[in-house]
Amino acid sequence: MNYVLDFTPVLDGLPDLLVGCLGTLLLALGGMAIAIVIGIGGVVLRDSRYKAVRWAVKGFVELIRNTPFLVQIYFIYFALPLAGMRLDPTPTAILALGINGGAYAIEIIRGGVQSISRGQVEAGLALGLHKGLVFRLIVLKPALRAVFPSLASQFILLTLTTSVASAISAFELTSVAQRIESESFRSFEVFGTITLLYLGISWLMMSFFSTISARFFSYPVK
Amino acid sequence: MGVGEFLFLLTGLKWTLALSAIGFLCGSAGGLAIALMRTSGVRALERLTGGYIALFQGTPLLMQLFVVYYGLALGGLHLSAWVAVSIGFTLHASAYLGEIWRGSIEAVPRGQTEAASALNLGYAARMKDVVLPQAIRISLPATIGFLVQLIKGTSLASIVGFTELARAGNIVSNQIFQPLLVFGVVGILYFLMCWPLSLYGSHLERRFAVATR
């Protein structure tokens, strides 16, 4: 073995890599925001009184959960222009991440909603609370509290999945790294370094989630 | 898309299946070793495997494939893409399966281990005949869930340049300029592999939930 590691290209590209980290965070947070909306909306629609809507939600969840994200992102990337929407790769990637995360969020949040007993809802209605208020305070919040750990680990997975968005050359860490690699041919050094950056990003996300959990979902001290 | 193109996709499908099988089988061996070390009670081993799991669960699969791919080449090993990617998936699967199985080993009631010790069973017999058979049952839904994740994950091997189903789709789509049709078909093929497994997994989960109620 007579290869000498050379980190100069990585150090030179460090400012770009850090901006790439911000891109990754943007993709992750944007994807999560869409995923939460789809997740909550999907859970509501899953109990719709129309059979077709219920089946559509179920079909969506199964379809997304059983196909690779890479195929989904290609499909969306090529399908959007046909639908008359011209989006840049980065918004396309955020949309794809949101759709993918949304399917998992529906499944996870549904589990939480099912754990709320019917009597709670009836008690809320009996107290004269408005239907929307019952949903928000009695169903949604305790459900989210119950499933928050699963939701958080799913979102960490979503954060890691953002690297796949480099396949459609969205702006994030992996595509920045690929550019530096193709200019310097220092593949191992570049990818080794950004692997550590990803590790940092996922730790950042974990502490972000535990802060949210402590701030919004903890019970008052007993 | 003609018959020829579809057959080419099926060739890719074959490699996806082979890669998933290798990753899962070798990963199972590695995962078992990691789960046993993680629950061994030896502090150093637990720390080491804990770090390994945190590393692989905290970084993207794509990066793991890149680093293994280029890292092996640096070490002077000039392996084919096929071997390098298999090693990558094995390391990845070992970490995830190790963590799943650690959980299930710890979920087996402590009294079982104590009873086995009281019957003078050694560590090997205790694990093989008492703890692991129960742990495997507990872990089955999560293990199948991970297998589905692994099959989907093999699509990332296409970015490293390994020709499996997703890359075959890419090639065909570049040839016939019908990306929607091609990726639709590729998606359906993945779905046909993963969906039955997912259904089986949730069936087991329900049955297990009923059994422990």
- Does residue A155 sit at the B interface (CB-CB below 8 Å)? no
A1 → closest Cβ in B76, B155, B180: B76
Q: What local confidence, expressed as pLDDT, does residue B77 receive? A: 75
The pLDDT of residue A125 is: 92
pLDDT band at A222 (very low <50, low <70, confident <90, very high): very low
Which residues does chain B have with pLDDT short of 70? 212-213
What are the structure tokens assigned to B170, written together?
């890419």
Task: Give start and end residues of each alpha helix (H) in chain A.
Answer: 8-12, 14-46, 51-65, 69-82, 89-114, 118-126, 131-133, 141-161, 173-184, 187-216
- 8 Å CB contact of B198 and A66: yes
Which pair of tokens denotes residue B181? Answer: 């049709």
Residues A58, A50 contacting (CB under 8 angstroms): no
Domains by residue range for chain A, with CATH = 8-192 (1.10.3720.10)
Tokens in use for A54? 């219920």
How far does B43 lie from chain A, in Å, by closest CA?
Answer: 23
pLDDT over 90, % of chain B: 83
pLDDT in tens, A32-84: 999 999 999 999 999 889 999 999 999 999 999 999 999 999 999 999 988 88
* ipTM entry: 0.91
Q: How far is A151 from chain B (nearest CA, A)?
A: 16
Picking from B67, B148, B166, the nearest residue to A70 by CB comes out as B166
Domains of chain B with bracketed CATH? 3-212 (1.10.3720.10)
Distance from CA of B180 to the nearest CA of A (A): 6
Is the Cβ–Cβ distance between A67 and A100 less than 8 Å? Answer: no
Instruction: Quick: pLDDT tens for A136-147.
Output: 999 999 999 999
What integer pLDDT is reported at residue A55 of this predicted model? 96
